A = this chain, B = another copy of it.
Amino acid sequence: MHRTDLIAIGDLAARTGVAVSAIRFYEAKGLIAALRTRGGQRRFLRADIRRVSFILIAQQLGLSLEEIAGELARLPAERTPNAADWARISTALRARIAAQIAALERTQELLGACIGCGCLSLKKCGLYNAQDKAAQRGAGPRYLMGDRSGEIAERG
């Protein structure tokens, strides 16, 4: 029944919408692990579909691959994040997102106050330095991110 529990890299790619090259990249970065066939080809567990999904979601939420690797490393090998893991992680994310929202709202207010003033003085204008650095750091729009939506899988 679970003879074909192992899937090839192209299947994993198709299932997750991630490019094959990206999966190899994640493996190189230690985010996921692969078994090998005698011929040297990678074979993944079905559970890795969820692991990759987790990577994608966490990325959308602004974590860097390094941070994601840190989270995944806390899970036993071959274990996918379960409800408890996810609760821990998502609680941390909530705080991060709240900080981002707060920073943007602060900016929005300043922008409102500034419309028409045109001062643009670094010393006087609150807009400069309005967004806090910590929030910036994690905000993480990877510039290619937006391109993924159109080309998702359904390929195999």
Residues on A lying within 8 angstroms of B by beta carbon are 16-17, 50, 53-54, 56-57, 60-61, 80-87, 90-91, 93-94, 97-98, 100-101, 104-105, 107-108, 111-112, 114-118, 120-122, 125, 127-131, 133-134, 136-141, 143, 145-146, 149
Which residues of chain B are near A149, meaning CB under 8 Å?
129, 133
The docked-state distance in angstroms from the alpha carbon of A118 to that of B81 is: 7
Interface residue from B16, B83, B105 paired with A101 (Cβ < 8 Å): B105
Contact B108 A101 (CB under 8 A): yes
Contact present for A104 and B100 (CB under 8 Å): yes
- Contact (A111, B90) CB under 8 Å given A53-B122, A141-B139: yes
* Copies of this protein, total: 2
Cβ-defined partner of A87 (8 Å) among B115, B128, B139, B143? B115
With both beta carbons as reference points, the residue of chain B lying nearest to A138 in the complex is identified as: B141
Determine how close the nearest CB of chain B comes to the CB of A114; give it in whole angstroms. Answer: 6
Distance between Cα atoms of A18 and B7 in the complex (Å): 51
CB-based nearest B residue for A98: B108
* Contact, CB under 8 Å: B111 / A94: yes
| Interchain CB contact under 8 A, B115 and A86 | yes
Across-interface contacts of A121 in B (CB, < 8 A): 50, 53
The reply to whether B83 and A116 form a contact with Cβ atoms under 8 Å apart is yes
Complex contacts, A56 vs chain B, CB 8 Å = 122, 128
A91 and B115 form a contact (CB under 8 A): yes
Q: Please report the C-alpha to C-alpha distance between residue A108 and residue B143 in the assembled complex, in whole angstroms.
A: 22
Give Cα A70–Cα B98 distance, bound, in whole angstroms: 32
